[in-house]
Amino acid sequence: MDRAVLQYPILGGQSTRLNTIDVYLPSDQESGETDDSSKIWIIYIHGGAWRDPDATSETFIPASEMLRNEVQFHKHVAGMAAINYRLSPYPAKQGDDPPDDPARNARHPDHIEDVLSGLKFLQDKYGFGERYVLVGHSAGATLAWHVLMYTGSTASISAMTSMTNQECGLPLPQAIVSVAGVYDIPSLLRRHKDNPIYEEFVRGAFGDSSDEWLQASPLQWLQDHDLDQEWPNGRVVILAQSKEDGQVENEQVTDMWDTLCKQNEEQEGKREQQEQSSSEKLSNGDELRGRRHQQLIWLEGEHDSVWKEGKQLVNVILAAIDRLF
């Protein structure tokens, strides 16, 4: 499987050197298209606190190499991609980049605009529709949820970004794999109030308004929205976290998990009432339609070990693939 680095345009903006995508395709399949409409794509969003130049699409390389050795991969996956995006300022790692480098001065919603632009580029080029698993680590996991938040069925992209819904026109993924994510930005700051680094990167990425921090938090969005309505084609949600993670506290994932479970239980109750009141017996396929598999997977090791050693990231991706098929 060959890896190519492609530049993508930003919808409503000017591309920078960081607006690239690593695309992995079988060497005999340059187009990325397949006659088998059941095959899916794996799309990865890297972390790095929205600002670390050392965390790039290349953090997906260890997992991508291991995935190629898996039977499920060859049976079900048409291609893979890892998206780079503009970063927020990080003075301690500025290096030789000029202070006004547009690739290093992003502020929300720049990051999600880039991810949406990258997804639009991939869709235009390879046309896989909803047949993809969106995978994110750390800040990348937050951005994976932002894809739902800003392109869901009731979302207005233009309210948060310079794009319009018509410009974006993105099919949502069938599955999200969310690893070591930040789901509640205000609580992240409260729990790490004695470490100024957290406030520094949050302010650099999201500005100084606590209201903006709350609005950008997937947990708050999930509490305020019906996930079935926002994501009607969603089939799988996997949350993964290491109990040994020294950077993102476990409460981030447990709070998100509890909210997902509560909402899912409420929706199941509504479905049962609808089925009981229906005079027509549903087929098995109809009974399962709209029901989402949700799973919390506990990992091991430090925050970045998940992608550095690769195997644990592979395992959570395979868990999503298994549920889709």
Give dist(CA 292, CA 260) in Å, integer. 10
Tokens of 279: 């005079």
Nearest to 253 by CA among 199, 311, 299: 299
* pLDDT at residue 28 greater than cutoff 50: yes
Q: What mean pLDDT comes out for the span 225-235?
A: 95
Cα separations (Å) of 163 from 112, 129, 130, 150?
Answer: 11, 19, 20, 10
Give the pLDDT confidence of 268-314 residue by residue, as tens digits.
Answer: 766 565 555 544 443 333 333 357 999 999 999 999 999 999 999 99
Count of CB atoms situated within 10 Å of the CB of 284: 7
Tell me the per-residue pLDDT of 181-200, one tens digit each, with 9 for 90 and over: 999 999 999 999 999 999 99
Does the N-terminal peptide bond of residue 109 adopt cis geometry, omega within 30 degrees of 0?
yes
Does 31 score more than 80 pLDDT? no
Closest to 233 measured CA to CA, from 282, 291, 294, 162: 291
Amino acid at 115: V
Please check the confidence at residue 92 and state whether its pLDDT lies above 50. yes
pLDDT at res. 122: 97
Residue 76's identity, in one-letter code, is H
The band of 155, judged by pLDDT with boundaries at 50, 70 and 90, is low
Beta bridge partners of 83: 21, 45
pLDDT in tens, 113-146: 999 999 999 999 999 999 999 999 999 999 999 9
The mean pLDDT of the chain is: 89
Mean pLDDT, residues 10-18: 91
At 161 the pLDDT is 58
Kindly report the number of other CB atoms within 10 A of residue 137's CB atom.
Answer: 29
**How wide is the angle at C-alpha 299 spanned by C-alphas 295 and 305, nearest 5°?**
135
